[in-house]
Amino acid sequence: MAIENIKMPQLGESVTEGTIEKWLVQPGDHVNKYDPLAEVNTDKVTAEVPSSFTGVVKELIASEGETLAVGEIVCTIETEGGNSAPVKEEKNAPDEQSAAPSAGKKEETKTAAQPAKPAGSKGRYSPAVLRLAQDNDIDLTQVDGSGNEGRITRKDLMKLIDSGTIPKAGDVPAAQTPTQQEQPAAQQAIATPEAPKAAPAPIESAPGDIEIPVTGVRRAIAANMLKSKHEAPHAWMMIEVDVTNLVQYRDSIKGEFKKKEGFNITYFAFFVKAVSQALKEFPMMNSMWAGDKIIQKKDINISIAVASDSALFVPVIRNSDEKSVKGIGKEVNELALKARSGKIKSADMQGGTFTVNNTGSFGSVQSMGIINHPQAAIMQVESIVKRPVIMDNGMIAARDMVNLCLSLDHRVLDGLVCGQFLARVKEILENMSKENTSVY
């Protein structure tokens, strides 16, 4: 028999970690090669981890809800053939002479094998734990882990955050804190008591309340949105667009188009086409913040938000500037069907450079979107509504109006380029009509 390790796979080009959402097997279960072992969630997608071997599940190293870095061991499988043992057991296996040490020797061996963690040492932490510790100013050297071999998990940190007892860098246990008499007089003179940090008020369920567990997908969305809001200084702009001609054009062709192509031509496809054209003319909008530099992306890949009953996905329309309205509409339709049927893949959500969100489908008329990290902007397409508008000749007419709301990363973009970009999108949309716009 041989023990083989199953490691956390990389489920995307920028994915560095994954969370075990649900185990599909238990120790002792027989699995074949490529059988699914667990459902894993990342900030990009939920996917299944397949077995790389045929054999019997030996041990589940990671628990449900635990986040591990790519390449870390999630479980072990005992395969047929060979008689090698896992490396971890080989290193710890005692020789024949010390196979039965006395109780005293056992205690000494245990102490030597698990030395106390030196103060200030970094330890071995997952990226999720490091990010959570950094966001909440937690000193990890003072946290006791409940994971495998004392490893600190996200659950450990969330428990500390919820309780309000967060160990800070520089904190000293009470037994080691010098008394006021031992401090120099100069320090006593200038020392001022710091107000204790108020612990978050616990939220208790009342009779009739429904407690909904936080899924890995929802947790990943929350983490990505929090990262975006913490890192990117958001600014917001809005422009009003008269799309009366576009509405008339789309309504005049939708029946024939559906019969010919097999899917509906939506207003959203026209909006994505207009944004893609404007991005080509204002490439700075298609950029990302990279610390010491700004990366202006060559390809125009539009991320769109698609919601299912239980999750939100952000698939990507690649090279949207090279596609027709019909091509964009077809891809939007296909991606939405894949997301809602659970068939969307990680590759479908990679490489987005700018996000267009169809908030108008819910009847919204004004909203402020959170930027889809690491992109520099997101545009919300609001609901098209009829409103009285004063025309150039002074007459009042009922027109189809829509608000376009832009959230921008002020590290990358300024009001000037964003205003010019929105004005160009407005111009393109207001000139879409049967006479000068083709869907093919």
- Just list the catalytic residues: 410, 414
Using a 10 angstrom Cβ sphere, with 0-12 exposed, 13-18 middle and 19 or more buried, the burial of residue 344 is buried
Reduced to 3 states (helix: H, G, I; strand: E, B; else coil), residue 321 is helix
First-residue to last-residue Cα distance in the chain: 61
Q: Could you give the C-alpha distances from 377 to 30, 187, 234, 251, 423, in angstroms and in order?
A: 48, 49, 9, 30, 16
Long-range contacts of 162-171 (CB under 8 A, 24+ apart): 162/200, 162/202, 163/199, 164/197, 164/198, 164/199, 164/200, 165/199, 166/136, 166/137, 166/138, 166/197, 167/138, 167/139, 167/142, 167/143, 168/137, 168/138, 168/139, 169/137, 169/139, 170/139, 171/139, 171/142
Q: What is the CA radius of gyration of the chain?
A: 28
CA distance 73 to 69: 9
Instruction: Judge whether 325 and 270 are in contact, CB under 8 Å.
Output: yes
CA distance 397 to 83: 84
Q: Could you give the C-alpha distances from 214 to 132, 226, 311, in angstroms and in order?
A: 17, 16, 11
CA distance 431 to 332: 23
Q: Which of 439, 432, 422 is nearest to 236 (CA)?
A: 422
CA 248 to chain centre: 39
CA distance 108 to 201: 45
Q: Which of 49, 59, 66, 64 is nearest to 129 (CA)?
A: 66
CA 212 to chain centre: 20
Query: DSSP secondary-structure letter at 342?
Result: T
Instruction: Judge whether 382 and 365 are in contact, CB under 8 Å.
Output: yes
Please provide residue 7's backbone torsions phi and psi, each rounded to the nearest 5 degrees.
-110, 160
Instruction: Judge whether 231 and 373 are in contact, CB under 8 Å.
Output: yes
